[in-house]
Amino acid sequence: MRDDLAREIGEEDLLDWGRRVAAEVPAEDVYRAREGRRTVRLLRNGRAYFLKYHGGIGWGEIFKNLSQLRLPILGAGNEYRAVNLLRALGVDTMTVAAYARAGLNPARQRSLIVTDELTGTVSLEDYCRDWRASPPPFALRQKLIRKVADSARRMHEAGVNHRDFYLCHFHLDPATLHRSSPRCYLIDLHRAQLRDKVPQRWLVKDLAGLYFSAMDTGLTQRDLLRFLRHYQPGGLRQAVAPRRFFWRSVEKGALALYRKDHGVAPPGGPWEQRQ
């Protein structure tokens, strides 16, 4: 627990404080409340935070997830470990102000994570929304593709897969766009999985999700090649030939996600000729 929150909480138990505060915030500051998890925004002494309080999901929810071949999210531990690892790797992400966990019973485990609010940022989904109609300057487009590819590569090489890897979970600080590498924060890591190596099917899922979320931004063939060059160790030489079937799987997954979400095929782009 960081000193600024320690002064706020005083002698109260951290988890008891989190449960109380998560229940007391106004409705407009509740961002999510489901499956034993409550995500809220807090303002304390002029400083804004986000609190995720996990109160235990129960055995019913655990068995339901397992029956659907999904790993249940038991608490804040995965997010805490993923944030710390990504920060150590140089990936822009959230800053943890407090973390706590108690209980050995997975169905009743309590935990929380408090992170600083990202102020003055905009999601890449919103920032790139009008790119098809109003393309950005080439240098800006190139800079952001390189940044996202670099973050994805570092994360995956370290054995982390996000599971909700979409443009909306990259938050850009527009004030840093003059830099060669702007600040673009990867958020919402509560479903992240950490292993020695990411299995290929989870790599495909992450990258297909990212590709799907970018299909309305007017991507070109050069944009895709630019991403591959910065994401793939060894550059295009390794990406285009030896791993072409892997990238085809990513594209098929992205197209399927787009049709499922929108009910139609994506607008014209580099995938069009292979449909």
**Catalytic residue numbers, as ranges:** 164
218, amino acid identity:
G
Taking the C-alpha atoms of residue 177 and residue 208, their distance in angstroms, rounded to an integer, is 26
Residue 190 near residue 76 (C-beta atoms within 8 A): yes
Distance between CA atoms of residues 81 and 228, nearest Å: 27
Q: Rounded to an integer, what distance in angstroms lies between the CA atom of residue 60 and that of residue 275?
A: 41
Residue 85 near residue 154 (C-beta atoms within 8 A): no
Token pair, residue 37, equals 């998890």
Nearest Cα residue to 21 out of 49, 57, 62: 49
Distance CA 128, CA 229 (A): 21
Contact criterion met (CB below 8 Å) for 223 and 146: no
Kindly state the tokens that stand for 274: 């292979």
What does the alpha-carbon distance between residue 40 and residue 26 come to, in Å, rounded to a whole number? 9
